[in-house]
Structure 1
Amino acid sequence: MGMVPNGLLANASAGVTRRLDPERWAVAEGRTAELIARIQPNAHSEGRRLAVYHYVQRLITNCLSCQVFTFGSVPLKTYLPDGDIDVTAFSNSEELKEIWANLVRDALEREVKSGNAEFHVKEVQYIQAEVKIIKCLVENIVVDISFNQVGGLCTLCFLEEARAGGRAAVTARER
C-alpha cells in the first residue's frame, strides 16, 4: 500500500479525484461565495477601520512630532473581520525613541478615562518585547502601535509593487 505523488493512497485515489457533478459544484461555489462575502472587507468595515486609524494617528501626532502610517492587512485590504490595525510612528528624534511609548500610552489612557472621547478606547497595554508595542482596543478593534518599524512598511511596499506588477501583467495579456 504505497503512496502516490499527490499524497493519496494508491487504491483510493480514483474515488477521490472523480469529477463533481455540476449541481454539487454549483452548491460548493455558492457556499464559497457566501463565505467570502461574509469575511472580505466591505465599505462599512473599511470606513470604520480608516476612521479608527485616523483617530489613533491624531492622538499620536498630538503628543509626538512624527509621521504615522498603517501597514499590514488593513492597507492591503486582506484583513479578517477580527483582524487588528498595525500602526507605526516614525521620527528622527533620538529622544523620542526612549519616551514615545510613555507619551502614547498616557494619551490613550486619557482617552479611556474621558467621557467625551471620539472613540471608545480600552485595554491599553505596553508590551516590552523585541519590538515594543502599545496594544489597545479602539471601538473593539485591536490596534498595535510601534515606533520606527521599517520592516512592516517595506513588506507593504513590496506587496503593493507585486500586486501592481501582477495587474500590469494581466492587462498586457488581455491586449
Structure 2
Amino acid sequence: MTSSREPAGAAVLQESVTAAITRAMFDQLAEIGYARMTMDAVARRAGVGKAAVYRRWPSKQAMLIDLVGAAVLRNLPEVPDTGSLAGDVRAFLDVIVEQADPRTRRIALDVLVETTRTPELAAALHDVVDRPRRTAAATVLTRAIDRGELPADLDLELGLDVLISPLLLRLLRSTEQVDNVYLTRLTKVIVTGLNAL
C-alpha cells in the first residue's frame, strides 16, 4: 500500500497558507503602514506560525516586494483598442480609477513614502511595480504611433509620464472625487500634451 504523505525534506509551501499571509500583509499595510508592520504581526493575523512566514521570505522587505509585485502582475491595466488615441487614453484612465479603491490608494501612498527613506526598496519596487505598469501603459502610445496619430520618434518615457502622472498624483494626494467630467477634461489635456512632444 502506497502512502499519500508528502515526502520529508524540503517543506512544501501550501498555497492556502501563502494566501492567508498575503491577505494579512495587505491588511496590516492598510491599517498601520509598512514602517510599523512586522513579520510576526503578519503571521499572527494570518493565523500561522512565524516559521511559515520566514520560510517564504527572509525579511519584511522581501515579503513586500514579492507580494506587491505579484499583485501588480495580476492587475496590469489592459486597455481595449478603441481605434483612437483619445479613446485609448480615456479607457486607460478609466481602468486606473477602477483599480484605485481607497484601500489600495492608502497602501500605495504609504509604500511610496517609505521608498523615500529606503533606496533599496525604491529600486526593487521600480522593477516589480513601475516597470511592468509602464510597459503595459506603453501600449496606448505604440498603438497611436502605429495608427499615425503620434510621431514614430515620440519620446516614449516622457509620453508615459504625461499619460500616467497627472491621474496618479491626484489619486494619491487628493480625496476629491475623480468623476466623468474630470476624466473627460484630463483626456483632452493628455492628448494635447502627447501631440506637443
Q: TM-score when scaled to structure 2?
A: 0.26
Larger Rg: 1
Q: TM-score when scaled to structure 1?
A: 0.28
Higher strand proportion (structure 1 or 2): 1
The structure whose RCO (Cα within 8 Å, separation 6+) is larger is 2
